[in-house]
Amino acid sequence: MTTLAIIGAGPGLGLSVARRFGREGFSVALVARDAAKLDALASALRDDGVTAAGFVADARDRTALGDALDRAAAELGPVEVLQYSPVPAREFMKPVLDTTADDLVGPLEMSVLGPAAAVQRVLPGMRELGRGTVLFPNGGSAVRPRGAVTGTSVAFAGESAYARLLHEALAPEGIHVAQLIIPLGIGGGEPDHEPDALAQRLWELHTERGEFRTFVRPLD
């Protein structure tokens, strides 16, 4: 059995993706900062018949993140699919003229350095399997920066560039890297932006292995 590892797992998109992949036989490693919430999510998944466990780590702590992924692979099986989707902190979303150099450190740690650390930790296992998928769900600011959320816009642009380069470099090895742009955010009443619908889109990105970037719907 191989594992889906979700960085930034929560009760919305993370839980829906875990259930979708779990139905296909994946074990699920849930990685986030709050142990109690992870325990609740893992318990809900096990009630659904999915093998799941939580692993505590902050996406901005590269050592802890790597250690969590190592533990997940040892306990649940090699990581075949990595989803990197921690929720940006509110303080990352300042207007551009109010954003200092120091304000950009946290966003870059989370959205550029974190993905690089996570991918490098799971990549040897994917190469040993001869297959793998890395999924990057992002908001619209990843491709259309917004001055009201400067830290996230800058960091998501870096994450997008890194992910695209990975897509090009790893495709010959049978490892697929894909980005899903979610323009209207998760939930909120739009059927195609609800967690279960987005989980299905992410499953399709994993199985169909097409282009790097997919939009849930076109940007206005």
Tell me the domain boundaries of the chain.
3-215
Under the banding of pLDDT at 50, 70 and 90, the label for residue 91 is confident
In the predicted model, what is the mean pLDDT of residues 121-144? 97
Mean pLDDT of 162-176: 98
pLDDT tens string 14-52: 999 999 999 999 999 999 999 999 999 999 999 999 999
pLDDT exceeds 90 at position 147: no
Token code pair at residue 139? 């908001």
> What strand order describes the sheet that includes 213-215?
52-56, 27-32, 3-7, 79-84, 132-139, 175-182, 213-215
Query: Which residues, listed in sequence order, are joined to residue 56 by a DSSP beta bridge?
Result: 32
In our burial notation (b when 16+ CB lie closer than 10 A, e otherwise), range 34-63 reads eeebbeebbeebeeeebbbbbbbbbbbebe
Task: For the chain, give the percent of residues with pLDDT over 70.
Answer: 100
For 3-215, CATH gives 3.40.50.720
